[in-house]
Amino acid sequence: MTVSIYEQALQRIASLPKGEERRKLLQDKNFRSQVLSSGANVTIYSGDVKSDENISLEEALSDVYVGLIQRKNKNGHLDGLGALGGLAERTSEEEFYRLEQEERAELVTQRDDVVLCVNTPILTQNIDIIRKKNVLREMREELDDLGIQDLSIDPARLELVPMPKVKDDNFMINIWSGTGKCFAISPYCHLYKDKEGLIDKIIAHKKEKEGGEVSSYKKIPLFKALGAYGNHGSKDCQLEDGRSADKDYRYPHEYLAAWALAAKLLNYDPNKMVALSAEVQSSVSHLISFSKLAEATGQTIDDLAEVLRVTPDTIKKMDHRNQTIFEQKKIKNNALIDKIPQY
């Protein structure tokens, strides 16, 4: 039996230990292309920014909320916050052309790369079609996990957040056991303005389904969501890297999409972005590090700046100011601890 290029590449990476060796191999663009697939998600948000220049940025964003799912893993344990979305369901050419026409037609609602063209099912490589179908299908499946079957969004209103160099290879690098299928992922993040009260409708009608991948849906202030990455989790409520499974975004690119939303609402004003970052840092006990976020998404500071439509120097200012605030809070907390009487 002929072994495909994908299967050969998968065998190669499975032979390597988890961690740095796999990471280095996936830095080879040619190799990564052999195990590459895509994913897509949508951050639904409501509200508008206040235009008053005499208020804090937290107050300016106080009417803006994002809807986030609380994920759970196959064991039923909490698995981080996130946007509605997931991996693309794709079809190989070999599989597609082996099927009869009626069987191909059945794939239109099941696979993200099969579409109808003049009533004929065809296989497409158009990522703009695939990413939108991916979002709609995953949203349908995840809302079904909450007992909701009658809500949908207008795909024409999906706003792509350009992240040309973002990667989601963490599972293949650090988690995958080497058995079964696995992919390196290029994720496509979208924003969607809630004009119909979708977030409130989901919350009002949600009911967790046993065995599903979603345990709840939350309406969270955008300002709070901007701090939801880097919280330390308790021993029984941790992601694999030690972050909180109930307070943190599961995926760093979805967290980055929240910052992209904030940047959009603040008209990509660099001064406001630095000030907002400082306010968020002051509101949390963990470090908000954009350099670490860039690393977690396989990007550079320059790439991150492109996503947020600011200069790399602005990102560096955000990081520097956050580090200063974090260190000052740590010193203050240590001083308070030193004043506690010892018995």
pLDDT higher than 80, residue 336: no
Phi, psi torsion values for 189, nearest 5 degrees: -100, 140
pLDDT higher than 60, residue 338: no
| Token pair in block for residue 228 | 């939801």
Confidence of residue 8 (pLDDT cuts 50, 70, 90): very high
What is the model's pLDDT at position 212?
87
Report the CATH fold assignment for 35-338. Answer: Nucleoside Triphosphate Pyrophosphohydrolase (3.90.79)
CA–centroid distance for 205 within its chain: 24
- Provide DSSP, 18-52: TTHHHHHHHTSHHHHHHTEEEEEEEEEEE------
Stated as kind and residue range, the H or E segment containing 190 is: strand 184-193
Mean pLDDT of 287-297: 97
Mean pLDDT of 40-62: 97
Q: How confident is the prediction for the chain on average, in pLDDT?
A: 94
Min mean pLDDT across 87-96, 240-249, 279-288, 328-337 is at: 328-337
What is the model's pLDDT at position 304?
98
| Token pair in block for residue 333 | 């907390």
What sign does the CA torsion over 89, 95, 97, 102 have? negative
Phi, psi torsion values for 38, nearest 5 degrees: -135, 170
Domain with CATH 3.90.79.10 in the chain: 35-338
Mean pLDDT of 304-313: 98
What is the model's pLDDT at position 210?
81
CA–centroid distance for 198 within its chain: 20
The per-residue pLDDT for range 228-278, each reduced to its tens digit, is 999 998 888 999 899 999 999 999 999 999 999 999 999 999 999 999 999
162 and 309 in contact (C-beta within 8 Å)? Answer: no
pLDDT higher than 60, residue 85: yes
When computed from its CA atoms, the radius of gyration of the chain, rounded to whole angstroms, is 22
| Token pair in block for residue 176 | 């995958």
pLDDT higher than 80, residue 189: yes
What is the model's pLDDT at position 105?
96
Mean pLDDT of 193-220: 92
Give residue for tokens 């040309």: 164
Judge residue 201's burial from the number of C-beta atoms within 10 Å of its C-beta, 0-12 exposed, 13-18 middle, 19 or more buried: middle
Closest CA to 259 of 294, 284, 235: 294
pLDDT higher than 90, residue 206: no
Give residue for tokens 């580090």: 323
